[in-house]
Structure 1
Amino acid sequence: MLAITGGRVVTMAGPVYDPGMVLVEGGRIVSAGPATGVPAGAQVEDVTGMWVLPGFIDAHCHVGIFEEIYREEGDDTNEFTDPVTPHLRAIDAINPADLGFKDALSGGVTTLATGPGSANILGGEMLAMKTWGRVVDAMVLQSPVGLKAALGENPKRSYGKEKKMPATRMASAALLRESLAKALDYGRKLDAAAGGKGERPDRDLKMESLLRVLRREIPLRVHAHRADDIMTALRIAREFNLKLVVEHCTEGHLVAGELADYGAMAVVGPVITSRVKVELKGISLQTARVLSEAGVTMAIMTDHPVVPIQYLVLSAGLTTRGGLSEEKALAAITLDAARILGLENRLGSLEPGKDADITILSGHPFDTRTRVVKTYVNGYPAYQY
């Protein structure tokens, strides 16, 4: 058993214990509470004066799929040959030797959601994985955790110049609707065949992926910056009764009430960026606060490599300048991020039974002078400063 004791323990699920103690055994958290008696025989790690938090979670990035130093060889982010590729799977593109995983650990990030980019209307399946490991299959927590879709500039720019759909926002929405409608028909045929009322259709991997969304097994995670594109995503989600996560959500503050009314979630960011395209005209540090106040479950992303993943906690900290509370900003990279991934039963807080993913910091997480001292993944010391 490991006893991490003496530090300021921020559980994200209850009181802050200062000094506190976290007990770890078998890769799981046994307890988190005040620093009382250390169990006999436990290995003691004294972190007096430091902060102890659950491992941080980046709910949207491209680590392992878009390798920074291999611009062509290591870029498997977008399949530019077809605007509708829901059957692509992130797991088949991830290189666990990508330096981004080491960077993540140095920033206290123990879990991330990675997946395709936003060139396609339907880009493929995203997954959630730990940031420490040797083989991708062993690092994966859940696959898929959502189906990536995209609206706005990126699909138009990727295909319109080639005189292909989509060249307009209307065509983007139409392709998304058409794909979902085809999947509904495919599902009806499967159901009919199962009931002995028709022949089973030939297997269709695209339709299988879309059926998981239509059956609400996973959310549709839609890249949308502008408020009008966010509303298109909401409109389509209502039509097909989908779980919806809006990725980036740059102008989400303009339609926060609508997102909340539907029960949509949002992954906001990247926060540290310039207005590199028209869709970012309305970027604001207040977006996270407005969404939170409206009741939208929200996470903060890096979109690595757009913002290096080791700066996730800095990104979250900057949202406090826009009025988001420190507690909510921390939740956006811990417990709320876990909720968006559907993994809150395992991640995001220091509670008994959860994975022993723990970040130890030298000071307040939002102080730019603070460094990550140690990062545990499944109870293993995966990084040490």
Structure 2
Amino acid sequence: MFKLSEIKKSFVVALWFIFLTFPIMVIKVNTIENAITWRWRNMFMIGIGSFLVSLIWRYLQESQAAGKSPLSLLTGNRLAKRMAKAPLSDRPTKDGVIRESNPMIQRTFYGLLVVAALLFPFVNQYQTTILTTALMYVILGLGLNIAVGLAGLLHLGYVAFYAVGAYTYALLNMHFGIGFWAALPLGGILATVFGIALGIPVLRLRGDYLAIVTLGFGEMTRITLENWDALTHGPSGIAQIPKPGLFGMELTTQQGIMYVYYLAVGLAALTVFATYRLQNSRIGRALMAMREDEIASQAMGINITRTKLTAFALSAFFAGMAGVLFAAKTGFINPQSFTFMESAIILSIVVLGGMGSILGVIIGALILILLPEYLREVGNYRMLLFGASMVVMMIFRPQGIIANVRKIYKIDRGGRN
């Protein structure tokens, strides 16, 4: 159970929380009547709550250091005994991730997911708008996952490619009257060109140095958009960007929202399919080999220059398409839509969901985008709860929500593995 030293430390933490929150949570000044109300109940609630949270936190940290996960503390050894009788291919890893699953269960799950996605717009118009935004971040997260999760290239300026796609559609439509469907591939291709242009000078950089250069590239792009008034209209942005067309049909506001939502679903599904095929392709295996050991992969015959440029190009392509969809959805863009904070959110989606994991990135995007919206009811505390949940997640499950499981290849020699 709990040691006396741990109880003392938790008690000290509770006293500190009471001291820090005392002026805000206990003292209430009524400026109209010039009176002070002492809310002692809040002080006791904060003290007891912080004491219990600190005690549970220390217990979980000790359990993790001893090699026990929080899940195993709740389930005990029952799950382990049950899985010991299962075939080797169905046993979970140390991270709790099953290596192989039943294909029938997977097909059923994805089928139900598709049906739910198709029927969702009929539930609520506001919820549909929020989910459309979340789906755009799914595309962005999966695109960044190619560079960060598969190739191991830390990218902090990913929002620049997002901006290139959005401004490509806005400018082509404003000057040449090009519609959404023609601008969609053009935005992705132009973002790919920018990705290659970024990849060439950073071929020899790794780790923190690569992150600093990509961060600078993202800020350079934003500042250029703000100051090139003749082309981008500067901070004023570009307005009246037309919505996606549907064979020249006139759509109502609700129909337009549903149409953009279905476009986001289709692009997200296309991105999932493309990244899944990439993972299981020769290029994907080269990216993962480069992520593990660049020198060893080069010694095995992998062209590092071409592989890095491929990672930057493919990653930028999906960001460019997401940018075109963003411009079509909002109808207005300006440089403040593409700040460093957007890159940080996209990177957080990849890290929180699990680097290299497609399903993890999808879940991470839905959590990071939808959770702040649904926590609006708690007012000023919503971002505090949001940040605390991320801290807890990164401490007790640093590999992400769904860790990427390494594939095991077996050689069949005369019927023996």
Task: Give TM-score, length-normalised by structure 2.
Answer: 0.27
**Structure ranking higher in helix proportion:** 2
Higher relative contact order (CA 8 A, sep 6+): 2
Structure of higher CA gyration radius: 2
Q: TM-score, normalised by structure 1?
A: 0.28
